[in-house]
Amino acid sequence: MSKRNTQQRRHHIVSLVNEQREISVDELARQFATSEVTIRKDLAALEASGLLLRRYGGAVAMPQEVIGDDPAHRLSPYKRAIGLAAAALIRDHQRIIIDSGRTTGALVPELGSKRGLVVMTNSLNGAEALRALEPEPTILMTGGTWDPHSESFQGQVAEQVLRSYDFDQLFIGADGIDVARGTTTFNELVGLSRVMAETAREVNVMVESDKIGRRIPNLELPWQQITRVITDERLNEAARQQIESQGVQVICAPNTNQ
């Protein structure tokens, strides 16, 4: 099925759920003359976008209090813009790593037009969102020890799994960027991030511009390991020049929602 038809079906599913407040997978499969597997992928993608909630055997409409009172539930337009810009760097049949995080997560819905991707992730939410894509990429998971702080798998097992592969590109976030040193983080578990960078030919840091200039004690990736920074159009020119002076490409994604 074409991407356009998939988008149309998902739009109609949201309308039906909002109208009926609750609907089952088998009812949706009958209405759209498609498989329950396809409908479950649709519901996973729509839940990831904050448009409905999945329940056993179906879906329910988003509660109004969630829609109205939790702006963090949805991605900011800057994260969406960064996700679009990152997706434009990916070619069919590439092998990529997508690290855990909300900004890197904005990349996943933009991968629906790519063919033959192999995607490694250490995020359960990321893997679930990847499963919702059509066509579904080959999904690899690091395994390892679950870290509740970063909501991702970390540790030596994850590092060993990563070292068994090589990748074309890594897409990774950051808690902050020190323009003199590189990416910084509150999390002391930086080993996996460094192994991710070692196993990828290109390292792309996806970060909103308000995190650039934040000096956090733990250095995660030095500039020598980073290929480019993908950020939003709010980045000031001085910071951009400082990063580029480190030999790092800077992409400032325009906000198309303005």
Domain assignment present for residue 258? The answer is: no
pLDDT at position 91, please?
A: 97
The whole-model pTM stands at 0.77
Residues 122 and 59 in one domain: no
Domain of 178 in residue numbering reads as 75-253
Place of tokens 């390292």: 203
Residue 104 within any structural domain of the chain: yes
Residues 121 and 195 in one domain: yes
Max CA-CA distance within the chain? 58
Strand 95-98 relative to strand 167-172, pairing: parallel
What mean pLDDT comes out for the span 136-161? 92
Label residue 70 by pLDDT band (50, 70, 90): very low
End residue of a domain, out of 71, 100, 127: 71
Q: Which has the minimum average pLDDT: 46-50, 57-61, 172-176, 217-221?
A: 46-50
Q: Are residues 47 and 158 in the same domain?
A: no
Q: What angle do CA 9, 14, 16 make, to 5 degrees?
A: 90
Do 110 and 222 sit in the same domain of this protein? yes
58 and 106 both lie in a single domain: no
1: exposed, middle or buried (Cβ count in 10 Å: 0-12, 13-18, 19+): exposed
Of 70-79, 133-142, 187-196, 236-245, which one has max mean pLDDT?
Answer: 236-245
Average pLDDT, the chain: 89
Q: Is-contact 21 37, C-beta < 8 A?
A: no
> What token pair was written down for 144?
């390892």
Residue 128 pLDDT grade (very low, low, confident, very high; cuts 50, 70, 90): confident
Which residue among 71, 99, 130 closes a domain?
71
Does residue 216 form part of some domain? yes
Are residues 63 and 82 located together in one domain of the fold? no
Cα→Cα distances 120→19, 99, 117, 158, Å: 37, 8, 10, 11
Per-residue model confidence (pLDDT) at position 151: 82
109/191 same-domain check: yes
Q: What's the CATH code of the domain at 86?
A: 3.40.50.1360
Q: Which two tokens stand for residue 218?
A: 């733990």
83: CB partners within 8 A, 6+ apart: 75, 103, 106, 107, 108, 109, 110, 206
pLDDT at 66: 47
Give yes or no: residues 66 and 82 share one domain: no
Same domain, 88 and 212: yes
In degrees rounded to 5, what are phi and psi of residue 54?
A: -80, 145
199-253 pLDDT, tens digit per residue, is 999 999 999 999 999 878 889 999 999 999 999 999 999 999 999 999 999 999 9
Domain boundary among 47, 71, 95: 71
Number of independent structural domains in the chain: 2
Q: Which residue has the higher pLDDT, 258 or 97?
A: 97
- In three state form, how does the secondary structure of 124-142 look? HHHHHHHHCCCCCCEEEEC
Q: Please, where are the H alpha helices in 115-231?
A: 124-131, 156-162, 191-198
- List 54's β-bridge partners, or say none: 59
Residue 65 identity: E
Return the HEC string of 170-198: EEECCCEEECCCEEEECCCCCHHHHHHHH
> Do 25 and 135 belong together in one domain?
no
